């Protein structure tokens, strides 16, 4: 270890001791600030998981568009997993107003609020990592939620239909929807057909029928 590394490590030990002596809220605020400073110097600063901060649980809210469903047995298992193993994955969120809106981890966020055991252990906080700032507009947040969920969850048909309709009405093409949320062209078409809204087919080129 070089002299510079030794000096930095020694300074970090002193910082850790000072933070440990602070009241809870002050300690968390300081930890988050120090982590943010280190994150800016990190070779992995472009990866959201490089910066996980702790925020008050009551400032984190679910989104209104998540089509992913978790059956009661799986929800109980998730609760048990977090109670027994702790939070091994942060909640992905974006800053919005005075709080944070969940992009991925809606059910993990519920456990942190609803399980007395977990809430007591994490002292009313939740671990959060932020979605990339260039991807935090409404359309990109919806697409990100779907990408996070599709491989591991069960999407209800009606909520998923509403997602496709929303993205198309926001101006995305069928090809963009398919690419961003991991569908193929047939899936997008099926959801458009389920929606039954004529305006969704306004720009479709229909093939000429043969007699």
Amino acid 168: pLDDT: 82
Residue count of the chain, please give it: 211
The whole-number pLDDT of residue 152 equals 55
Partners of 54 in the β-ladder: 127
pLDDT given at position 148? 55
Name the helix (H) or strand (E) containing 138.
helix 138-150
Burial class (CB in 10 A: 0-12, 13-18, 19+), 115: middle
pLDDT at 2 over 90: yes
Provide the mean pLDDT of the chain.
Answer: 83
Tens of pLDDT, residue by residue over 123-179, are 999 999 988 666 556 667 666 666 655 655 555 566 677 778 888 887 788 888 777
| Model confidence, pTM | 0.68
Per-residue pLDDT of 35-70, as tens digits, reads 999 999 999 999 999 999 999 999 999 877 766 667
């Amino acid at each position: 270890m070089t002299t510079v590394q030794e000096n930095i490590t020694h300074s970090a030990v002193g910082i850790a001791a000072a933070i440990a002596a602070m009241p809870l809220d002050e300690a968390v605020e300081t930890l988050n600030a120090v982590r943010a400073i280190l994150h800016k110097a990190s070779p992995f600063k472009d990866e959201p998981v490089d910066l996980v901060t702790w925020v008050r649980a009551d400032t984190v809210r679910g989104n209104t568009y998540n089509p992913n469903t978790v059956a009661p047995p799986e929800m109980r298992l998730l609760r048990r997993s977090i109670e027994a193993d702790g939070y091994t994955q942060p909640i992905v969120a974006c800053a919005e107003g005075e709080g944070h809106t969940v992009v991925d981890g809606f059910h993990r966020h519920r456990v942190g609020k609803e399980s007395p055991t977990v809430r007591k252990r994490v002292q009313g906080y939740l671990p959060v990592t932020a979605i990339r700032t260039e991807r935090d507009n409404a359309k990109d947040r919806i697409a990100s939620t779907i990408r996070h969920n599709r491989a591991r969850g069960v999407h209800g048909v009606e909520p998923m239909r509403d997602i496709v309709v929303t993205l198309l009405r926001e101006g995305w093409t069928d090809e963009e929807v398919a690419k961003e949320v991991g569908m193929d062209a047939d899936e997008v078409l099926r959801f458009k057909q389920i929606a039954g809204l004529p305006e969704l087919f306004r720009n479709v080129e229909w093939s000429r029928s043969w007699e």
